[in-house]
Structure 1
Amino acid sequence: MKIVEVQHNTKLHGMALAIMGPLLWGFSGIVAQYLFGNYQMSPQWLVCLRMLGAGALLVLFGALTTGHKVLDAWRKPASMRGLIIFSLIGMLPAQLTYFMAIQHSNAATATILQFLSPALIIVFLAVHSHRLPSRINTISVILAILGTALLVTGGNFSKLNIAPAGLIWGLLTALSTAIYTLYPRKLLKEFGAVSIVGWSMLLGGLVFLPTALRYPLPQLDVKGVALVSFVVLFGTLFAYLFVLQSLRFIAPTITSLLGAFEPLTSTLLTVLFFHIAFGLPELAGTVLILGTTILQAAYANTQTRNRSQNLRS
């Protein structure tokens, strides 16, 4: 009885961590939208500060928890090259496109479009393997396309109800998120997420700093500094650590499923704070896009269960 209770409490703890991360990411997008609108802060500066600040803190956390192992990725030419490539084509574009999408649309739309990445991954893997996607993957792609159409048109397919730049940056966010997800799998497995995410953020921020310096320095008061600090600390550092810690207690499929709290949080807060209306077509589109994540998580969970049963038999 006690073992069952401990397992239950452990699972609840993992689920709470997996929910807190996406909630903080959702709040972070809202704070970014406020900074863009009320402090005329450029996305370039926020991206740079976020990556430098959170990257340095994650590397420090890795050093405190793993010691010299935090440097392991830099000891081999192959892993060093992979980390540099990931920083430049994965981490940096994923951060920049997301904040640009927020600036040109809103936090909710940017976050929802980001969740098109599973559909893009399905298409890429099908092309790469020269195989047609499975039935469940085909359904996921169709849902994603229909959901996007409803979200960006509001059900009136003759026109867009968001700025074209917002749609383009949103789609680029999905693409860069797909690259961010696919590329570093080997690095993450070998060196751990804290080290790889921390170094890639720090390196990406350093590379991007000359670009950020071309834009006006943000004029921040105490409130503005507090908001930027929130994005760096809670919306990045703690959000990543919560999600990574959740994997110690629950399956990755459950963590992925609970990631849906990010767009739900962004949508609710966008409506409440910025009074941006989401009608039934937009809400239906949101549900369809998030449905792809739910289908993929459920499918992955079924596959894992089937493999476990086959091993036992």
Structure 2
Amino acid sequence: MEKSSNLRQRGIILAIAGPLLWGFSGIAAQYLFTVDQVSPQWLVGIRMLGAGVLLLGFGYLTQPHSMLTLWHQPRAIGALLIFSFIGMLPAQLTYFMAIKYSNAATATILQFLSPVLIILYFALRQWRRPRGIDLLSMALALLGTFLLVTHGQLTRLSISPTGLVWGLLTALSTAIYTIFPRKLLREFGAVPVVGWSMLLGGCGFLPFALRQPAHLNLPGLATVAFVVVFGTLFAYLFILQSLRFIAPTVTSLLGAFEPLTSTILTVLIFQVQFGWPEAVGTLLILATTGLQALPLHPKNFTK
């Protein structure tokens, strides 16, 4: 019993550590955009290429026989290429663009609208009416988004229209990369699929990645390294390892530490005003994740 309890505690710690690192990564990205004038395209390219190489390296060390299996099946190769450029790449780009044109907290919170889009997708695909809990989730998400982006006032937006658009596109792209690779993940495992998709998707931004920003100094390079190593590689591995000890439903719920971390740090570091309408809106959006936890919609944690 004690051993089981210790393993569960380990899983919970890992499931919290991953989102915390994602939250810190968003703040680091906002710092790079505002202080070092780094472009989102450059950071996306560096992040995906770096994390892809590191993930594949980790895979070759821990499961060498499964890393190339995917490349022996033409259908799987086609699915991987589609996922890399239609799922993974847009999810990375829209998230960083949303941070640039709003802030890390708003971008991360709007990303959590993706469960609502997943609900709509499955309802349309299976041609069935959403459950009552699904309708409640959508209502809470819409109300939460309204409070978050308008400060509770109908006549104005509290963020730029560009930031709002990129934030909504982040939710859409997150829903796509959550739904699309389910078969690939079941057949080949998470590390090969995510590692190869990051590397391939990053190649799409290779022209940007090869141009180092002129204003990037040593602290800036250290921040970039943090985004790649801790905010991507370790965050993902922590989430993956947590699934060995606790249920996916628990891991999904603990993902709320990401927007909470981003919100607190955004207010403290960048002095962004975050009043009660935004706080209530955030809680309403995060509540949709809790409502959908049983049963949990497919989630692959490829942030």
Query: TM exceeds 0.5?
Result: yes
What code does the residue aligned with 2:30 have?
Answer: Q
> How far is the alpha carbon of 1:216 from its aligned partner?
6.9
1:88 aligns with 2:124: no
38-47 vs 216-225, greater mean Cα deviation:
216-225
Q: Within 5 Å, which residues of 2 pair with 1:156-171?
A: 156-171=153-168
Distance 2:173 2:241 in 1: 24
Could you tell me which residue of structure 2 aligns to residue 106 of structure 1? 103
Q: For residues 276-313 of structure 1, give each alpha carbon's deviation from its aligned partner in whole angstroms, at most 9, with x where no partner exists.
A: 0110000000000000001111x227xxxxxxxxxxxx
SS of the equivalent of 2:204 reads helix
Q: Scaled by the length of structure 1, what TM-score is found?
A: 0.93
**Consecutive aligned runs of 4 or more in structure 1 exceeding 4 Å deviation:** none
1:22 aligns with 2:39: no
1:50 aligns with 2:47: yes
Gaps of 5+ in 1: 302-313
Could you tell me which residue of structure 1 aligns to residue 245 of structure 2? 249
- RMSD (CA atoms): 1.1
> How far is the alpha carbon of 1:208 from its aligned partner?
2.1
SS of the equivalent of 2:148 reads helix
Could you tell me which residue of structure 2 aligns to residue 307 of structure 1? none
Could you tell me which residue of structure 1 aligns to residue 299 of structure 2? none
Q: Within 5 Å, which residues of 2 pair with 1:28-43?
A: 28-43=25-40
Distance 2:130 2:209 in 1: 41
What is the count of residue pairs matched by the alignment?
296
Distance 2:212 2:61 in 1: 36
Distance 1:106 1:123 in 2: 27
Distance 1:107 1:157 in 2: 24
SS of the equivalent of 1:217 reads coil
Cα–Cα, structure 1 residues 103 and 176, in superposed 2: closer, same or farther, change >3 Å? same
Could you tell me which residue of structure 2 aligns to residue 287 of structure 1? 283
What code does the residue aligned with 1:72 have?
Answer: T
Q: Decide whether the 8 Å contact of 1:114 with 1:170 is kept in 2.
A: yes
Could you tell me which residue of structure 2 aligns to residue 71 of structure 1? 68
More helix as a share of residues: 1
Cα–Cα, structure 1 residues 179 and 218, in superposed 2: closer, same or farther, change >3 Å? farther
1:227 aligns with 2:216: no
SS of the equivalent of 2:67 reads helix
What code does the residue aligned with 1:87 have?
Answer: S
What code does the residue aligned with 1:258 have?
Answer: L
> How far is the alpha carbon of 1:218 from its aligned partner?
4.5
Distance 2:105 2:204 in 1: 28
Gaps of 5+ in 2: 297-303
